[in-house]
Every structure is written in C-alpha cells, then in structure tokens.
Structure 1
C-alpha cells in the first residue's frame, strides 16, 4: 500500500487593511463665550485655521448650534477637543466620522 501525497490548495494571502476612523471635533453654541473668544481659540488650537475660516465656523456655531471644526485621527482629535474645552468652549463628545 502506497500513500498518495496530500495536496493542499494554495492559500491566497490577502491582507485587508482598514483605515483608522476619523473623529469629528464639534463646538457647541452657548450663552457665555463671545464670538471673539471662539474664533481666537479656533485659530490658536486648530492647525492651519485661518481667521476667515474661524469666523465662518464661529457664525455656524452661533446660528446653527454647532460646527465641526476639525476632522482627523483620534489622537489629534482628542488633543484639540481637550484644548478647546480647557479654553472654555462648550464641546460635543468626540464622534467617529
């Protein structure tokens, strides 16, 4: 009796890469922060934030109740969220984009 070789199918190695989710940093409207303070905080803590964009977002916060001021990786989102919160802005919890 001879043993026949066992044939195993070739396994196709596929690696599916998943990107990390982005997170949204959202500023909420409140009754105690001034337009100037909100715009100044956005320019100070959000990278590449221009004065014009900061004022657009500040107006959005005021008239619509909230604005997404930054979207990106979780670690950076946590930092910007914390900095804006410590500066006195009213923040929504971090939210996956």
Structure 2
C-alpha cells in the first residue's frame, strides 16, 4: 500500500504591512482661555508650529468650536494632548484619524 505525499496549499508571498493609526489632537473652545494663551501653548508644545499657524488654529477654535492641531502616531499624540491639557486648554478625547 503506497501513500501519496500531502501537498500543502500555497501561501501568498505578499505580506501587507498594517500601519498604526494616526490620532488627532483637538483643542476645544471654552470661556476662560485667552487667544494669546491658546496661541502660546500651540507654539510651545506642538512641533514645528509657527506663530501664524497657531493664530489660524486659535481663530478656528474660537469660531468653529474646535480645531485639529496635530495628527500623528498615538504616543506623540498622547504627549501633546497631555501637555496642552496641563497648560489649561480644553481638549477633546484623542481619536483615531
């Protein structure tokens, strides 16, 4: 009695890398932070934030109720969120982008 060899199914040779999701850092409007304070915090804590861009975002927070001030990897998003929150800004919870 002879047995034939078992043939394993072919595996796909393509591996699709799965990227980690980005997270959004969102500042919310409130009644107690001044424009100057929000702008200063954005320049201080968000990398590569220019003074002009910080003013644009501060105006967006005021007139639209919120602004996404940074998008990127979760660990960095958590750091910036924590720093802005500790500086007194009103923050939305982190959310995946």
Please, what TM-score do these two structures have when normalized by structure 1? 0.93
Q: Indicate whether 1:46 and 2:46 are aligned.
A: yes
CA distance in 1, matches of 2:62, 2:86: 20
Output the aligned Cα RMSD.
Answer: 1.2
Per the alignment, do residues 14 and 54 of structure 1 end up closer, same or farther by CA in structure 2, a change over 3 Å counting? same
Q: Indicate whether 1:80 and 2:85 are aligned.
A: no
SS in 1 for 2:19: coil
SS in 1 for 2:84: helix
Mean CA deviation greater in 25-34 or 7-16? 7-16
Match of 1:29 in 2: 29
Unaligned stretches of 5+ residues in structure 1: none
Deviation at 1:28, TM superposition (A): 0.3
Unaligned stretches of 5+ residues in structure 2: none
Deviation at 1:7, TM superposition (A): 3.0
Please, what TM-score do these two structures have when normalized by structure 2? 0.93
Match of 2:92 in 1: 92
